[in-house]
Structure 1
Amino acid sequence: MLGKRTTLDLFERRLHTYVITDAIRDANVLRFSVEYVGRYRERNGSRNNVDIEVQGINRRELLESDDRVSKILDYLLAYHNVKTSHRKFTSIFAVASVPLLIKYYEELRRRYEAGEHDLRVATIFTWQANATSADADGYGFAPDVDDQTTALTPDHRDKLETFLTHYNEQFGVKQSIADGKAFDNYRKDIAKRIKGREYKNAKDADRIDILLVVNMFLTGFDAKAVNTLYVDKNLKHHGLIQAFSRTNRIFTEDKSQGKIVSFRNLKPATDDALALFSDRNADEQVFLAPYADYADDFRTALERLRAITPTPASVDDLVDEEADLAFVMAFRALVRLLNVLQSFADFSWLDLGITEQEYYDYRSKYLDLKDEVVRQGEQSEVVSILDEVDFEVELIRRDRINVRYILKLLAELSRSRGADREQRRRQITSLLAGEVQLRSKRALIEEFIENHLPPSGNESETEAAFAEFWDERKQAHLHRISVAEGIPIAALRELIDEYFYSGQQPSQEELIGELETAPSILRRVGVAERLLGKILEVIEIFEDGVE
């Protein structure tokens, strides 16, 4: 609008429309999954004190009650890892007012200090007298002003300063809100940490898991690494669409949709906003189908997979590349559906017609086939029909399954006996074969199990023995590279450490400059590429996933 004049007033016809349904159709953004969580009941005054459900409840004393805040955080902490792919992504938690935000933050902090969670929570809000105005979010639009009825006080600024000390301690910085410029620098620091997760060299130490806000960051802020919006406020119209759209920027393969978890009944407001900014029949284009529909699709896809390979073991009997390709495509369809299903709070393997173990056995065969395609491609110039297949490894990566997790299983293995021991051993073997980030470590971990696993079953003793074993094998590996490439071990370690912590690959000049004898000009590129490959291999085997 220009003052009170619209585009239609100025030009007599609409020049162009491009709404969310267009963007989704063009694959510029993702669809949304929306879950409405929570039911509210009140006493009906009858002699039996029967509960009746209250529709469209909007009572401040209930919505800001300690009990409700506690129950919502119980849910959030129970499902946050599921929603964010085990913290690969950041979430935004939008609440109705500064006082309510303070309640949420302080309860999250209390639970953090009590050891009930280790999420990294940040927050930012304005406290000035005009915080309810249309520019309260700092981006020229307030998504929701209906709830901004509580007068803000100097105490709110004091609270933010306290929360900022937590932020500074957590990230080792010295942010301030002493004046407008300092406040804006704080906002920029938060934005940088969230957007920084988009890049390969992102450091886990910079990770923000949950950003608590009232209006800020709900418009005008695009970060591909945000995938979940928790909502406890009455969004509507353009503000609702804008807030939801913080989550649906296209990123990696395992970000299949923007996830909205609403603790208020926003269904009517969502329908109205969708009708206003697209059309009333756009639901199927904008929102994911219900969980049950995807479970049905999964079972159908599973039937197709079993028609090709009835069991995981039958993958080994596939006779040619066409059969291999059929299996890869059938299993990939299963992976895509599972990625969506696991984002629902209702997810259960019992709904899918396959056990978790059988699925991971199929997955191990899928990864074996991928590795074989890579090996053959390196050894042969003959083009395979599988060479161009995208195996979508990102979709089956589980960040929580790392070496530390395996060490806990190893301690349990040491304590077990008989059939239980054999079952635990099979579980570990299956994980090593099926987890992307563990496959490169498989031979070494199996060697540790066979020859170095302490019999006590004590976790700290197991970890100490493994750390010693791992360091010995790493040093031996570095020594072999040093001898083969003619590079001092100290220089090799420095190159590896620099790359691991910065994410920046060393240049050809840096690599060649560390060699004891410089190769000829014609051989430099080949030597540098080979050395870089060995550095990346060391990081993949000995560093990635070892925490």
Structure 2
Amino acid sequence: MRPYQIAATERILNRIEISTNYKKTGTVEAGGYIWHTTGSGKTLTSFKTAQLAASLPYIDKVLFVVDRKDLDYQTMKEYDRFEKGAANSNTSTKILQKQLEDPNAKIIITTIQKLDVFISKNKTHDVYKQHIVLIFDECHRSQFGKMHRKIVKAFKNYHIFGFTGTPIFAVNAGSGGDPLLRTTPQAFGDKLHTYTIIDAINDGNVLPFRIDYVNTVKEKDNINDSKVRAIDIEKAMSAPERIREVTSYILDHFDQKTKRNSFYSLKGQRVAGFNSIFAVASIPMAMKYYTEFKRQLAERKRNLTVATIFSFSTNEDDPEDALPDEGFETDKLDKTSRDFLEAAIADYNQTFNVNFDTSAEKFQNYYKDLSLRMKNREVDLLIVVNMFLTGFDATTLNTLWVDKNLKQHGLLQAFSRTNRILNSVKTFGNIICFRDLKQATDEAIALFGDKEAGGIVLLKTYNDYYNGYDEDGKHKPGYAELIATLQSQYPLGKAIIGEDAQKDFIRLFGAILRLKNILTAFDDFAGNEILSERNFQDYQSIYIDLYQDFTKGKNADKENINDDIVFEIELIKQIEVNIDYILMLVAKYHESNCTDKSILVAIDKAVSSSIELRSKKELIAKFIEQVNTSTQVDDDWRIFVAEQKEKDLSAIIEAEKLKPEETRKFVAGSFRDGTMKTTGTDIDKILPPVSRFSGGGRAAKKQSVIEKLMAFFEKYLGLV
């Protein structure tokens, strides 16, 4: 655990000990709340707290209470990841009751809804007299109100603690509900520990945000009445032409914002880019947008997986609650909305070959399945009203499109879906607002950070990154300055002599790659790259040459070669040239009757600038050699690759005397999973019989096989 997590845990345990010794249990003096910013390990902190509290001899049980939107199964999965079997979850109030009556069930994860039902059905129960610790997750939400009051009234000997990334203070509390339970301090007591978004960004535990404001509505002149203006704006917001315009903008910029030209490994699979959530103002707008996305995708003949989810919310239109609580009450939806949701789920069923609908249990399972597929980046765009905007974590999610009025804690919660750390390609959470949320954003950041927090929480402007800026008395060079330095100090065609000069080039080009990674998310950058694509590829080729020289004989997976050299290999890979682009160039060469040699130069430069394609360079060159006027490029390439793959694999099997059937099965599994596992027993099964007592012969044989199979795998990965 990190220091701030340990500090939070210790303060809760100290409060339990002190209040127990002084017998202050039964009041909020026995508790407190932890301000632990979203995405910085709140679940791990709560798990360790629950575990240590449960080990205290005078504590009978620890109840970890989540809201239905988070679902206890998600928390249970996280707890199991920390320590299998450490906690107990439940799928019904009946199971919850059994766990409360079981002395061996020390840590229980439950929803506040199930706990509320249990208390309503059991006015008197022995568990109320036991010494209980109640830990509330996301305590800025529906725990305020009747359910909260009922729970703390039922238990007679308890400590109560809340975790939240965005506390409710008087300034951001709504006017509805119980006036004595509107704020976090009112409901949970003293603030025990603070770890804000500023702390988390400074510590590198979450990412900052980058915000675009895309104006889609021009307000009419001479409207003085605020209510009339609000009605007029909302009517304009849902106008069909605006829905079309916003949808078109998202589709036009989708690849740019989600970095679909970037590649990374996710659970052994090679994945392109990130995914996104689109937050809209109401169920009718969600329906309109879903329909328009389907229409425009079909019109563009484009393949993006779009899904939607929503349910009944009692206070959806409450302007004081930025993110109203939204449960799973699909039966309360009006017929039009429910029928539409049913049809959207049917689309989802067809896409993923599953079977969900809007009935109570199947809708909850749809939520679970959708949550998992979002985390696995199988869904490209999820349209929501309130669901998934709090309590949902997915490292693959980098973009939030917003056509919804957000403010204060709701705004920061929604934005924070995008800022989980994944890799060096994902350097910020991308927020694209189709409403003017600038003032609301500034106010939210000031409330949950401080008045100077904007400089840390939000990325700088396009102009700053492009032209440079001054900070803390130092000048930070921009992209244009770095490119000018690159061209003057390292002109193309001139060798870089000496290790010091090479290291300086590596640092300079790495800084350019990092800035370009940020700038590509700005619409203004298109057309202002300065370097032509071909020249950039040439510089990238030099960078990769140096990487391979510096890593020769070392662990090539490590980017930190020594203390003063770091290679930005993830950023190189994210602007990879793929084989489809190369085949397109081959087709152009074919169309020129194989006479345009400049295309061959372009192919060579593109392949040389790609780490992925360098291992395929010989294969590509061999294919181009046999291209003639009768070649069908795509079809003949597939046939060529299949023949060469079989030829190369057979040669390895024969040379190393491997077991043919086991080897082919092992290789097929590796291509299926996107990774070749060289540890474990699978690799041993393909080796020929070698005496285990033959000294280092078996180890040497195994290493030789691994090296040959890895080279084979790299050569054909992405082609089969």
Indicate whether the TM-score tops 0.5: yes
Please report the TM-score for the alignment, with normalisation by the length of structure 2. 0.65
Residue number among 627, 649, 653 corresponding to 1:453 in the alignment: 627
Does residue 221 of structure 2 align to residue 36 of structure 1?
no
Contact 1:321–1:386, Cα closer than 8 Å, also in 2: no
**Aligned residues of 1:37 and 1:264 also touching (Cα < 8 A):** yes
Equivalent position SS for 1:470: helix
Q: Which amino acid aligns with 1:132?
A: E
1:90 equivalent in structure 2? 275
User: Which string of whole-angstrom CA distances, capped at 9 and with x for unpartnered residues, describes residues 318-373 of structure 1?
Assistant: 232222111111110010000000111121343x4432321221011101111222
Match of 2:552 in 1: 375
Q: How many angstroms apart in 2 are the aligned matches of 1:299 and 1:56?
A: 43
User: Cα distance 1:501–1:462, how it changes in 2: closer, same or farther (>3 A)?
Assistant: same
Q: Cα gap change, 1:242/1:328 in structure 2, threshold over 3 Å: closer, same or farther?
A: same
- 2:579 is matched with which residue? 403
Alpha-carbon distance in 1 for matches of 2:281, 2:599: 48
Q: How far is the alpha carbon of 1:20 from its aligned partner?
A: 1.2
Deviation of 1:479 after TM superposition, in Å, equals: 1.5
| Aligned counterpart, 2:440 | 269
Q: In structure 1, how many angstroms separate the alpha carbons of the residues matched to 2:382 and 2:186? A: 40
Q: Is the 8 A contact 2:590 2:627 kept in 1?
A: yes
Contact 1:508 1:525 in 2 (8 A): no
Query: Comparing both chains, which one has the higher relative contact order based on Cα–Cα distances under 8 Å and sequence gaps of 6 or more?
Result: 1
Amino acid at match of 1:430: K
Paired residue secondary structure (1:229)? strand
Partners of 2:381 and 2:498 lie apart in 1 by 48
Q: Structure 1: which amino acid aligns with 2:309?
A: I
Identify if the C-alpha distance between structure 1 residues 242 and 133 changes in structure 2 by more than 3 Å, giving closer, same or farther.
same
* Residues 216 and 66 of structure 1: CA distance in aligned 2, closer, same or farther (over 3 Å): same
Residue of structure 1 aligned with 2:508, choices 330, 333, 336: 330
Q: CA deviation at 1:374?
A: 2.8
Q: 2:369 aligns with which of 169, 173, 189?
A: 189
Check the 8 A contact 1:232/1:264 in 2, yes or no: yes
Letter in 2 for 1:395: L
1-side partners of 2:555 and 2:455: how far apart?
44
**Residues 248, 296 of structure 2: 8 Å contact kept:** no
1:213 counterpart (378, 384, 388): 384
Contact 1:29 1:248 in 2 (8 A): yes
Cα 1:318–1:114 change in 2 (3 A) is closer
> Which of residues 118, 135, 140 in structure 1 aligns to 2:303?
118
For the residues of structure 2 that align with 1:302 and 1:400, how far apart are their CA atoms?
20
1:413 to 578, 589, 601: 589
How far residue 164 of structure 1 moved from its aligned partner, in angstroms, is 1.1
Deviates more, 1:154-163 or 1:108-117: 108-117
**1:535 to partner: Cα distance:** 3.2
Q: Distance in 2 between matches of 1:436 and 1:274?
A: 41
What per-residue deviation string (whole Å, max 9, x for no partner) do you get for residues 362-407 of structure 1?
011101111222335489xxxx976983312111224773212211
Question: Are 2:249 and 1:75 equivalent residues in the alignment?
Answer: yes
SS of alignment partner, residue 382 of structure 2: strand
1:165 to 346, 357, 361: 346
Say if 2:675 is the partner of 1:516. Answer: no
Q: Read off the aligned partner of 1:511 and give its amino acid letter.
A: I
- The aligned amino acid for 2:375 is K
User: What is the match of residue 435 of structure 1?
Assistant: 610
User: CA 1:117–1:38 in structure 2 vs 1: closer, same or farther (change >3 Å)?
Assistant: farther
Deviation track 1:526-545 (CA, whole Å, cap 9, x = no partner) reads 4444434433333321132x
Q: Counterparts in 2 of 1:335-346, with a 5 A limit? A: 335-346=513-524
* Number of the residue aligned with 1:463: 634
Q: Does residue 597 of structure 2 align to residue 422 of structure 1? A: yes
Matched, 1:105 2:290: yes
Distance 1:242 1:337, change over 3 A: same
**Is 2:551–2:561's contact at 8 Å kept on the other side of the alignment?**
no
For 1:534 and 1:61, locate their aligned partners in 2 and report how far apart those are by CA, in whole Å: 65
| Contact 2:313/2:325, CA 8 A, preserved across alignment | no
Specify which of 295, 301, 318 is matched with residue 496 of structure 2.
318
Partner of 1:444: 619
Deviation by residue 1:140-170 (Cα, 9 ceiling, x = unmatched): x9743599xxx94122111111111111111
Q: Which stretches in structure 2 are left out of the alignment for 5+ residues?
A: 1-139, 146-179, 223-227, 261-271, 327-331, 468-477
Q: What whole-Å deviation, never above 9, does each CA across 1:30-76 have from its counterpart, x for those lacking one?
A: 1111001124225659xxxxxxxx99886222111111011011111
Kindly indicate whether residue 479 of structure 2 is the aligned counterpart of residue 292 of structure 1.
no
Find the aligned partners of 2:553 and 2:684 in 1 and give their Cα distance. Answer: 30
Match of 1:498 in 2: 669
Aligned residues: 505
Change (3 A) 1:530 1:221: farther
Q: Structure 2 residue aligned with 1:155, among 330, 336, 356?
A: 336
- CA separation of 1:221 and 1:114: change in aligned 2, threshold 3 A: same
Give yes or no for contact 1:247–1:259 (8 Å, CA) kept in 2. yes
The CA deviation at 1:226 is 0.3
> Which residue identity does 2:334 align to in structure 1?
T
Measure the CA separation in 1 of the matches of 2:715 and 2:564: 26
- What is the alpha-carbon distance in structure 1 between the residues aligned to residue 554 and residue 698 of structure 2? 24
Relative distance call for 1:338 and 1:357 in structure 2 (3 A) is: same
Counterpart AA for 2:372: K
Deviation readout 1:181-202 (Å, 9 max, x if unpaired) = 22121111111112234xxxxx
Partners of 1:385 and 1:61 lie apart in 2 by 58
Alpha carbons of 1:15 and 1:515: their partners in 2 closer, same or farther (altered >3 Å)?
closer
In structure 1, the residue corresponding to 2:276 is in which secondary structure? Answer: strand
**Residue by residue, what CA displacement relative to the aligned partner does 1:67-91 show, whole Å, maximum 9, x if unpaired?**
1011011111111001111151010
Distance verdict in 2 for CA 1:378–1:73, change over 3 Å? closer
**In the alignment, which residue of structure 1 is the partner of 2:314?**
130
Q: 1:540 to 1:113 in 2, by over 3 A?
A: same
The DSSP-based 3-state class of the residue aligned with 1:242 is: helix
Whole-Å separation in 2 of the counterparts to 1:246 and 1:16: 23
CA contact (8 A) 1:328 1:391 kept: yes
Superposition deviation, residue 23 in structure 1:
1.1
Structure with the higher strand share, 1 or 2: 2
Q: Name the aligned partner's letter for residue 545 of structure 2.
A: D
For residue 263 of structure 1, report the CA deviation from its aligned partner: 0.6
Distance 1:172 1:489 in 2: 35
Conserved in 2, the CA contact under 8 Å of 1:19 and 1:278?
yes
Classify 1:130/1:97 alpha carbon distance in 2 versus 1 (closer, same or farther; 3 Å): same
Counterpart Cα distance in 2 of 1:480 and 1:58: 73
Match of 1:480 in 2: 651
8 Å contact 1:349–1:355 — kept in the other structure?
Answer: no
CA 348–403 in structure 1, closer or farther in 2 if over 3 Å, else same:
same
Range with greater deviation from structure 2 (259-268 or 279-288): 279-288
**In the TM superposition, what whole-angstrom CA distance separates every residue of 1:14-41 from its partner, at most 9, and x where no partner exists?**
4332221111111111111100112422
For the structure 1 residues 471 and 301, does the alpha-carbon distance in structure 2 shift closer, same or farther, using more than 3 Å as the test? same
Encode CA deviations 1:463-516: one digit per residue, 9 max, x unaligned: 122112212211121012102221133322210111222357265322222233
Query: Is this contact kept in 2: 1:225–1:251, CA < 8 A?
Result: yes
For 1:389, the equivalent position in structure 2 comes to: 565
Conserved in 2, the CA contact under 8 Å of 1:448 and 1:466?
A: yes
Task: Give the corresponding residue for 2:72.
Answer: none
Kept in 1, the 8 Å contact 2:465–2:515? The answer is: yes
- Return 4-13 or 508-517, whichever deviates more: 4-13
Q: Is the 8 A contact 2:687 2:702 kept in 1?
A: no
Task: Give the secondary structure class of the aligned counterpart of 2:566.
Answer: coil
1:173 partner SS = coil
Q: Matched residue of 1:211: which SS?
A: strand
Give, in whole Å, the separation in 2 of the partners of 1:490 and 1:470: 21
User: In structure 2, the residue corresponding to 1:337 is in which secondary structure?
Assistant: helix
Assess if the C-alpha contact under 8 Å between 1:94 and 1:232 holds in 2.
yes
